[in-house]
Structure 1
Amino acid sequence: MSDINQIKAQRHQERQNKKHYFELQKLRNEHKREFQTEESGHKQTMTRMRKDYDSKIKSLKNDIEQKLTLVRNKHGMSLKTEKERLSEEVSNLKLTHEDQVAEVKKSQDNEINELVKSHKDTLETARQKYIKEKMKWDV
């Protein structure tokens, strides 16, 4: 009888093992489906986030390029106005310099004329004194 009880116990153990195995399989399949569902949801979220991120990057790049273009244009315009201002300043300096050179030439010409006149006067005075002295000696 012990053999029969042993066989019954063994069969009961096998049925319990099969039951646990099938429950385990069932739970494994449920968890696998649940995991796959969660995984696909997270993958979709990641894909959406990547697309949003990429579109935001493109938008920011476009904004930066537009701002850079505006800054370059402003800088170009300020360089142009500064260049015009400096060329006008240079031309004004040239005119001022030419006026100063003309003034210096005129004053030097006047000074030379005065020196020449003074020299002529001195020579004339010396000639007259010489003639006077000569007349004294000739007489």
Structure 2
Amino acid sequence: MNSTTNSTHQPVTTASCHQEHQHWQHIIHQQAEEIRQLRALLLDVMNHYNSRSLRHDAVDYFEDLSHLQAKLDQLNRNLICTGTDCPPIRQTLSCSDTHFGLSATIERHTTAFMHEFTRVKDGCLQFLSGMMSLNML
């Protein structure tokens, strides 16, 4: 019992700390870029088509993606950044900061976010694919 307790409290090396942090930073950056691209496509749909059902679906997906973007921003701010105005990717990091000890928390929250994003993205892509099959995009 002591050996596991001691191993969980051993300090994380600077290299592994930076690697973990950069891994989650990269995932968050990727998700933000995908959301940005999908929102741009949906804005295009909303600007070009006046069909009530098309606009309604596009608006719903756009709102869902906006909500996810807000969650992603909060996740980045709370678990990745060290300040409220943190840039999306920080080049210099200090592993003495408490944010770097949150790998399990970051993983749990990011995984939950990714499941929710996948669900919304799949529906959105199905909607956009339907529009493409009708030669509307």
**TM-score, normalised relative to structure 1:** 0.27
- For CA contacts below 8 A with separation 6 or more, give which structure has more relative contact order: 2
| Rg (Cα) greater in structure | 1
Specify which structure has the higher proportion of helix.
1
**TM-score, normalised relative to structure 2:** 0.28
